[in-house]
Amino acid sequence: MTLINIHIKDCAVVLPGFSAKGAIVDEPGGTIQVITAQHLVRGEPYRYKKEHRTRIVPPRSIERYLLEPGDILFMSRGANNYAVLLEDFPQPAIAPLTFFIIKPERALAAPEYLAWYLNQDMVRLKLNEIRTGAGTPMIPRTEFSEIEIPLPTMAVQLQIADLARFQTREKVLLKHLFEETERLQRLTGQQLLAHLTREKKE
């Protein structure tokens, strides 16, 4: 298998998120969707839902911050750093300063592969080395861009991405199965208690 090691900056553009002066809240006349951390689930590609509506009227030009499907959001603030692939959302859309916006060079790096790799343990170890700040830790964008990643052939990247997608799907199904089992157990308990209460009254 052909494999090269390359810096993130050599296979993707890493941009800062949009800097808002205050809290980001949905505005009735908003024209720009803002994708925030509360919309994302670590390890799962992002797909917009109507309850995610958070639209603002931007106070200044936002062209350089505009998101496209296939971009990756990377949480750069705090100690819980993770990457999420953007799949489906209304445009135009932006992300706040808590994220890096990663735009992969698709001839070199498949977005799905890059998002998967950025969530691996070896990257987390590197992030621990470059993280700065005590009150609000953050990942410096320059140092992040210098992180070296292995790039196999595009065919292998896509195979790895497919496997990661199946694993994510399995994780979601197991979560739903667990939640449904918990719901049925609660319902059974309630029905049994109701039956016992009726018998006692009779």
Model confidence at 202, pLDDT cuts 50, 70, 90, reads low
Model confidence at 148, pLDDT cuts 50, 70, 90, reads very high
CA 193/CA 147 separation, integer angstroms: 58
Cα 125 from chain centroid (whole Å): 19
Whether the Cβ atoms of residue 79 and residue 137 lie closer than 8 Å to each other: yes
* pLDDT tens per residue, range 32-79: 999 999 999 887 899 999 999 999 988 788 888 899 999 999 999 988
pLDDT at position 198: 74
pLDDT at position 181: 83
Model confidence at 173, pLDDT cuts 50, 70, 90, reads low
- For residues 139 and 23, the model is more confident at 139
Model confidence at 141, pLDDT cuts 50, 70, 90, reads very high
Half-sphere exposure of 6 (CA within 13 A, CB side): 16
Q: How confident is the model over 188-195, as a mean pLDDT?
A: 77
Token output for 108:
């070199």
Mean pLDDT of the chain: 88
pLDDT at position 64: 87
Pairing of strands 72-75, 55-56: unpaired
* Partners of 99 in beta bridges: 75
Tell me the H-state helices in 52-153: 111-118, 121-130, 141-145
DSSP 100: E
Using the predicted structure, report yes or no on whether residue 187 has a pLDDT greater than 70.
Answer: yes
Structural domains of the chain in order of their starting residue, each with its CATH number: 3-201 (3.90.220.20)
Among 59, 48, 64, 99, CA closest to 78: 99
Cα 116 from chain centroid (whole Å): 10
Q: How far is CA 25 from CA 11, 57, 123, 170, in A?
A: 34, 10, 33, 34
Phi-psi region at 78: left, alpha or beta (left = phi > 0; alpha = psi -120 to 50): left
Residues above pLDDT 90, as percent of the chain: 59
Using the predicted structure, report yes or no on whether residue 98 has a pLDDT greater than 70.
Answer: yes
> CB count, 10 Å around CB of 39?
20
Whether the Cβ atoms of residue 172 and residue 44 lie closer than 8 Å to each other: yes
Q: How confident is the model over 110-139, as a mean pLDDT?
A: 92
Using the predicted structure, report yes or no on whether residue 110 has a pLDDT greater than 70.
Answer: yes
Whether the Cβ atoms of residue 62 and residue 18 lie closer than 8 Å to each other: yes
